[in-house]
A and B are shown apart, each in its own frame.
Chain A
Amino acid sequence: MTIHHHATDETLMRYAAGQLPAAPARVIDVHLSGCPACRARVEQFEALGGALLEQIEPAAMSPGAFAAVLRAIDATDEKITKTVSSLSSVGCARAPAMLPGGIGLPEALRDCEMGPWRWIGIGVRASVITLPEDSEARLMLLRVGAGRKLPEHGHFGTEFTQVLVGSFADEFGRYMPGDLSEMGHEIEHQPIVDQECECICLAALDGGMRLTGFFGRLIQPFVKL
């Protein structure tokens, strides 16, 4: 799979720094799972984090801090051996949610709950993805019919769209499975789904407070914004 559209450096840096909110971070997770180039960038930014950590002005710790950690070590050393067995029962068995066409949800979303597909406009359906780490995160799957042209729209906040199935094109190029479209709020674009088949995307917004764009209007009825 050759990937033509990547995350921006700014986004990968925020991801590596832990600054990206949960929903966009999941979109990036999915992109990274198929993109060695962006994975390498994230590793570089993590190394940057390590370098910056070493250069940072050290803070003063409270007087008993180290002794407290040693006590905690003594206390947990015994506990660890006792609780190890119970850890294995944590993973819950749930059949992986399926996308149309029998394709499973991306590996990076296996621990998420996938809502039912709902009709939200002519040729457009959406499914809300619930994240275990943040129940309020706004992550969704969009399923847009072949040849559908979406109205031109801008956004408040950055819109992240990862193509899972099918393809679409806009002013910036053609997006195939594995590609990520990252649209800043200053950008207007008009995606058109290619004729051959429907397009399924994973989409999230970062920093959208007042959503009047197309995506925002789409999801408004399903997530309380």
Chain B
Amino acid sequence: MNAFLEPARSEIANTSPSRRGALVTRLMQDGATPDGGELSDLIRRVADDQDRHAYARLYSYFAPRVTSFLRKSGLPANAAEEIAQEVMLVVWRKASYFDPEKAGVATWIFTIARNLRIDHSRRSRVATAAEATPVDNEEVAPSGEVLLLVAEREASVRAALGSLSEEQAAIVRLSFFSDKAHSEIAQELSLPLGTVKSRVRLALGRLRTLLEGQS
């Protein structure tokens, strides 16, 4: 395995900055949007083999999305990218902690981004550097049933999201990603506060009905 890993590593370390850029580009150009199974395979390759090609694929898919998520949640562009970089570092370092019995890859990376964002906002306010410890790594006996449940949850949430009206999906996105209070969202959409609140409630209610209908 190391025979496979080493060339990429030393190739990068030993090339001049200009050639290095070309190499990085090559590492990242790798096909279309990956699906859930492919994503967990990539994570496994990072965990087991420190596979940099797999990592480059994950990076090119997730880093721009995590950055976008962090910007939407109110961080300035440079801070958003900085934290996204941290998130992707955690993905590399903690790949072996990824537990497909708990969540899908996108969900796992979302929770890492969420936690680092919380740490960041508290750190900048309180100035205590509480080190982000790895999420729990308690050992659970592997079971196909649990894996199936996680896959079902991921699929049903996506299906439910897909069958919301565009307006409802927009309200869900807005209230999920933005740290704005409903009153600010109301101002932004020039809607009365009560309308925003009831739309959020309706959208969540519909999401719940859809999710329960599927299980």
- Residues of chain A having any CB pair with chain B under 8 Å: 9-10, 13-14, 16-19, 22, 43-70, 72-74, 76, 80, 90, 132-136, 207
Contacts and interface: CB of A to CB of B under 8 A. Distances in A.
Interface in B1-47: 9, 12-13, 20-21, 24, 27-28
A79 to B, nearest CB: 10
A133 B56 contact: no
Which among B24, B67, B103, B176 has the greatest number of chain A C-beta atoms within 10 A? B176
B81 to A, nearest CB: 6
Contacts of B66: 53
A61 B68 CA distance: 10
Interface string B83-110: 0110011001100000000011111111
Contacts of A17: 114, 176-177
Given A53-B110, A133-B122, A62 B81 contact: yes
Nearest to A58: B64
Contacts of B54: none
A22 B173 CA distance: 22
B60 interface: yes
Given A65-B63, A66-B28, A50 B109 contact: yes
A51 B12 CA distance: 33
Given A51-B106, A133-B126, A44 B117 contact: no
A70 B12 contact: yes
A95 B21 CA distance: 54
How many B residues are at the interface, by size bracket?
35 or more
Nearest to A206: B181
A153 to B, nearest CB: 21
15 contacts: A9-B201, A46-B110, A47-B107, A51-B154, A51-B157, A58-B64, A58-B65, A58-B67, A60-B64, A65-B81, A72-B89, A73-B89, A73-B92, A76-B93, A136-B125
B195 to A, nearest CB: 15
B63 A10 contact: no
B88 to A, nearest CB: 5
B161 A61 contact: no
Interface of B: 9, 12-13, 20-21, 24, 27-28, 52, 56, 59-60, 62-69, 71-73, 77, 80-81, 84-85, 88-89, 92-93, 103-111, 113-115, 117-118, 122, 125-126, 128, 130-131, 153-154, 157-158, 161, 172-173, 175-177, 179, 181, 200-201, 204-205, 207-208, 211
A49 to B, nearest CB: 4
Q: Interface SS of chain A: helix, strand, loop or mixed?
A: helix
A96 B207 CA distance: 40
A47 B130 contact: no
Contacts of A44: 153, 157, 211
Nearest to B27: A66
A135 B201 CA distance: 32
B144 to A, nearest CB: 18
Which among A16, A69, A74, A76 has the greatest number of chain B C-beta atoms within 10 A? A69
B34 to A, nearest CB: 10
Nearest to B87: A69
A46 B115 CA distance: 12
Given A17-B177, A48-B176, A207-B181, A53 B63 contact: no
Which among A52, A55, A60, A76 has the greatest number of chain B C-beta atoms within 10 A? A52
A50 B161 CA distance: 12
B24 A66 contact: yes
A28 B60 CA distance: 35
Contacts of A57: 68
A18 B114 contact: yes
A43 B80 contact: no
A14 B153 CA distance: 19
A59 B56 CA distance: 17
